[in-house]
Each structure stands twice: as structure tokens, then as C-alpha cells.
Amino acid sequence: MFTHANAQTRPRDLGLTIGVLPAGNLNAITDVAGVKVGQVTLLEGRNIRTGVTAILPHDGNIFQNKVPAAVFVGNGFGKLAGSTQVEELGTLETPIILTNTLSVPTAADALIDWTLAQAGNENVRSVNPLVGETNDGGLNDIRGRHVTKDHVLTALRTAETGAVAEGNVGAGTGTVAFGWKGGIGTASRKLPARLGGYTIGVLVQTNFGGVLQVNGVPVGEELGQYSFKQSLDKSSDGSCMMIVATDAPLDARNLKRLAQRAMLGLARTGGIASNGSGDYVVAFSTANRVPHSTDDRTTAVVVLHNDFVSPLFLGAIEATEEAIINSLFMAETSTGFQGHKVEKLPTEKVFELMKKYGRGK
């Protein structure tokens, strides 16, 4: 039974359940124990609509105690700084920062400062900061480069477990998805005990186009708002950053496979990974630590067998799909740079369509 769709209410709270696996307690990336999220939102005057979102895989010194990680590139029109080392070594040694396109260098510089300042890193001379982005230049004065190192450091310092703000916040403050206001979204899945009991959490920064589908319903088509409706233009261009966290003991190889499945979640929402879209997935596991320095020539770790990873794949697909939809439901209409206005998703109409198509639980 659907309830009245109020402003900034998650679809699950209104009776719309996406997928078949149960969500975690928070239905957020922070359902993966130890994962923290910090956000700084810049909403100033008429033209500044941007921000920073930081994701920390654990509480400790991440450089000294790295986590297994992988990157998957759905479409490479973007600037994911630090990705090649993650791919080469299979580890993440800093928090992940999301921001706008022209603030990637600033964020990387701040992330280096953060890492060098950690106790135990006094002799560190090489850091691989991982920074992702989407271009919020429609609503934000992106050329002004208003994100500072202090903003990034504040997001890192204030990161916490618990509920994660969504919509027009952090790195999603000025983003647009499917022609409506996008933003930050998050969701999770908790596997039943018989399937391992593992948790998969996803956080997205949505800023891309396509033909929106909500739980299989062709919302974009029904509402007459979708890419290439009038002509072959660039309305579908944009980007989506997807961060996947899990407590399942996966190595970098299976994390890459997990990251690939997040793109299927994007596709289920109607995203098309257009020519101008930077669609990246970063996946990491909190189950094991990879020490920066060791005297041992070999290491023995427990990793999940290939035959048991499929439920995690489904969890990543469902959580990514729901996180993207959450980013739309939780966003509000925004007016920004040069008076450009982007309307929020008309959730009342969406729920009318849900009823028309008999979707939901």
C-alpha cells in the first residue's frame, strides 16, 4: 500500500520496495560496519551549488591498514584520480572523496594533507588519493572553484556512522539526473544468514541522463522527459559515481566483479552511460586489512569462494538501483548559476504511475 508522497521522503518509507533482498537497518552504505560518511554542502548566494562527500572505509589509519579495492569504468569520460594504482595493487589507501569536476585537484591535495598528518605516517613520501567527480556546472559556478581544502578536511573530520543525508547535499548539491534534480543517494542489502549474512552498501552521486525507470515503471517516458525526446542533443550527458562497500571477504578480483554489477543497477534505472558520461564504480571490502609494511614474504587471508558471490552481485545491483532512486526522491528543486532552475522529481505523479502499473509491495 502506497502512502502520501511527501517532500524528501525515501520511496521505501512510502511503501515502494525495490528488489527482493532485505535492506540493512539504515538502508545506507554505513550499514557496513565501520564505514563513515562526511559531507560539506556549499549553498551560497545565487551561483554556488556544490560540495564534498567523503567515504571512509574504517576508523584507523587507512594508509597503514589498507583495504582490498577495485575500480570498474562503465564509461571513462571523467576524472577518477588515483584509479590506476587501485587497479594495479588492488588496495585503497585513503578515504574516497567525491566533489565537482574542477575541484578534483583541490580535493586530492587535501586528501594528501589528511593522510600525511595521520599518526604513524611521519615518513610517508607517496600517497595515492582517490577522488571522483561529476560536473555540476549547470547549477554551480564551477569555474569559480569554490571548494577549498578546508571543506574537504571538514568532510573527513566530521565523517560518522549512522544515517546519511541524501539529495541536495555534499557532492550532490548541484547535480542533475534524468532531467530532474539529482544528488547523493544511498542504500544497502543484508543477505540472509544462509547466504552468508553479508552486508552490501552503496552510495551514489547522480548526474546523468537516460530514460528514467522506477521499479520497472517507465517514468521518464510517461512524464515526457527523457534523453533525445526532441532531437539528438547532449541532454543525456553527465556522470555517476558509485561507491560499493561490503563486509564480505572479497579480494580485488571479486571486488572488480562486484563493481561491474553496480552498472547493472544503473541500467535498471534507465541510465545509458552516454558518450559524455563518466560512470565509475569503486568497490572495497572491510573484511581484511592489507598492512603497508610487513616483514612477512607471504600472507594468508580468508576470501569468499567464487561459487558464493552471486548473492552479493544481486545485492550490489539492487542497492545501486535504490540508491539512485533515493537520490531523486530526496532531492529538492534548485535554482542556481545564472538563474538555471532544475525541478525535483514529481513524486506524486511517480506514485500514480506505480499504481497504474501495479508495481510496489
Distances (CA, A) of 226 to 179, 229, 336: 7, 6, 22
**Of 260, 225, 238, 286, nearest in space to 57 by CA:** 286
Active site residue 239: yes
Q: Which among 141, 235, 279, 327 is annotated as catalytic?
A: 279
Spatial CA neighbour of 345 closest among 180, 143, 150, 174: 180
Q: What does the angle CA 46 – CA 179 – CA 39 come to, to the nearest 5 degrees?
A: 55
Contacts of 215 (CB under 8 A, 6+ apart): 16, 18, 325, 354, 359, 360
The verdict on whether 251 is a catalytic residue reads no
Extract the C-alpha cell encoding 359: 508495481
Cα distances from 55 to residues 7, 27, 131, 287, in angstroms, run 26, 16, 10, 16
Could you say which of 188, 227, 236, 277 is catalytic? 277
Has 279 been annotated as catalytic? yes
The conformational region for residue 90 under phi > 0 = left, psi -120 to 50 = alpha, else beta, is left
Which of 188, 227, 236, 239 is labelled catalytic?
A: 239
Q: Find, among 141, 147, 183, 142, the residue nearest to 333 by Cα.
A: 183
Give the C-alpha separation, 151 to 136, whole Å: 17
Residue type, 67: V
Which residues carry out catalysis? 239, 277, 279
